[in-house]
């Protein structure tokens, strides 16, 4: 199996750089506004896009993303809007959906994967799906040639880390700290240690998320990780701008600043 996501990680390794991965919930700040903002992120240098499936009871999302998800849900965002966003963005950059398990289960596993594949999706990040409950998901996603992206944390022990990474494809999502998403003044030192531990048990690319928000932080993480994930920083710009046009311009500018730090050495 090879998806646009896999191919891009291979290319980035030959260029000695990390990939910049940008996150935004579907339907935020509006359906059309989300597509416009994601397009601006790609124009600014984002390599891979994560489209969030807004959910009413998130376990991993900090206050910035929770507020954005609330806006999205208030706008009536559901599966149709998530897939419409993916269909619009996938031709521009490798695109994955980040979703809690409940929306997939409600939609139907086979139906969800079939639709994802039909609109060009490269994979799915499932932050609350455990390995013990993953057998049907692993089998179905393999049949549909869709990447399964699991999240590991500094607390993930050695044997469990091996089991999780063996079930993962595309890339391993390394949470930089124990906590929720959000902008922070520094990236936890445990992130580098976690990436090193993943590399001891897996050859998959490793992308670091949670807390990366500034060009300086992104440059630091890019020196040891294969991908740098930024979400809350983009969302905050859209939340705090006086207009959608202003927010989109700021999003594009931040993407440019972040992307300049992806080269290693």
- Write the pLDDT tens digit of every residue in 165-196: 999 999 999 997 544 444 444 455 789 999 99
Selection from 124, 132, 37, 23 nearest residue 88 by Cα: 37
User: 47, 50, 81, 226: which one is catalytic?
Assistant: 50
State residue 99's pLDDT score. 96
Its CATH class, for the domain covering 4-259, is: alpha beta
Active site residue 216: no
State residue 59's pLDDT score. 62
Q: How far apart are the C-alpha atoms of 2 and 142, rounded to whole Å?
A: 12
- 0.85 exceeded by the pTM? yes
Please determine, for residue 199, whether its predicted confidence score (pLDDT) is greater than 80: yes
Phi, psi of 20, rounded to the nearest 5 degrees? -95, 120
Q: How far apart are the C-alpha atoms of 43 and 52, rounded to whole Å?
A: 19
Q: How far apart are the C-alpha atoms of 228 and 44, rounded to whole Å?
A: 15
User: 6, 7, 47, 61: which one is catalytic?
Assistant: 61
Q: How far apart are the C-alpha atoms of 161 and 102, rounded to whole Å?
A: 24
DSSP letter for 152, please: E
pLDDT in tens, 231-243: 999 999 999 999 9
pLDDT in tens, 30-88: 999 999 999 999 999 999 999 999 987 656 667 888 899 999 999 999 999 999 999 99
Active site residue 7: no
As a whole number of Å, the CA-based R_g of the chain is 17
Q: Is 167 exposed, middle or buried (0-12, 13-18, 19+ CB in 10 A)?
A: middle
Please determine, for residue 102, whether its predicted confidence score (pLDDT) is greater than 50: yes
Which pair of tokens denotes residue 258?
A: 């972040």
Q: How far apart are the C-alpha atoms of 207 and 222, rounded to whole Å?
A: 9
The answer to whether 173 touches 198, Cβ cutoff 8 Å, is no
Please determine, for residue 14, whether its predicted confidence score (pLDDT) is greater than 90: yes
Which sequence spans correspond to the domains of the chain?
Answer: 4-259
Residue 212: is the preceding peptide bond cis (ω within 30°)?
Answer: no
The answer to whether 95 touches 47, Cβ cutoff 8 Å, is no
């Amino acid at each position: 199996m090879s998806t646009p996501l896999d191919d891009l990680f291979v290319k980035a390794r030959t260029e000695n750089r990390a990939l910049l991965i940008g996150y935004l919930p579907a339907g935020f700040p509006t359906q059309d506004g989300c597509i416009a903002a994601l397009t601006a992120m790609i124009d600014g240098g984002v390599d891979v896009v994560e489209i969030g499936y807004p959910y009413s009871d998130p376990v991993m999302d900090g206050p910035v993303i929770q507020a954005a998800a609330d806006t999205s849900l208030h706008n009536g965002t559901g599966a149709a809007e998530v897939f419409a966003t993916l269909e619009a963005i996938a031709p521009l950059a490798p695109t994955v959906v980040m979703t809690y398990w409940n929306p997939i289960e409600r939609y139907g596993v086979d139906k969800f994967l079939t639709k994802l594949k039909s609109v060009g999706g490269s994979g799915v990040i499932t932050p609350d799906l455990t390995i013990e409950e993953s057998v049907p998901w692993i089998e179905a996603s393999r049949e549909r040639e869709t990447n399964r992206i699991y999240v590991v944390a500094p607390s993930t022990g050695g044997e469990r880390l091996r089991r999780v990474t063996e079930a993962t494809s595309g890339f391993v999502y390394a949470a930089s700290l124990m906590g929720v998403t959000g902008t922070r003044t520094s990236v936890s030192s445990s992130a580098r240690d976690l990436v090193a531990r993943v590399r001891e048990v897996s050859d998959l690319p490793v992308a670091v998320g949670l807390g990366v928000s500034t060009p300086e932080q992104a440059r630091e993480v890019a020196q040891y990780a294969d991908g740098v994930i930024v979400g809350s920083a983009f969302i905050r710009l859209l939340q705090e701008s006086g207009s959608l046009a202003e927010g989109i311009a700021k999003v594009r500018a931040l993407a440019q600043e972040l992307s300049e730090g992806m080269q290693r050495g």
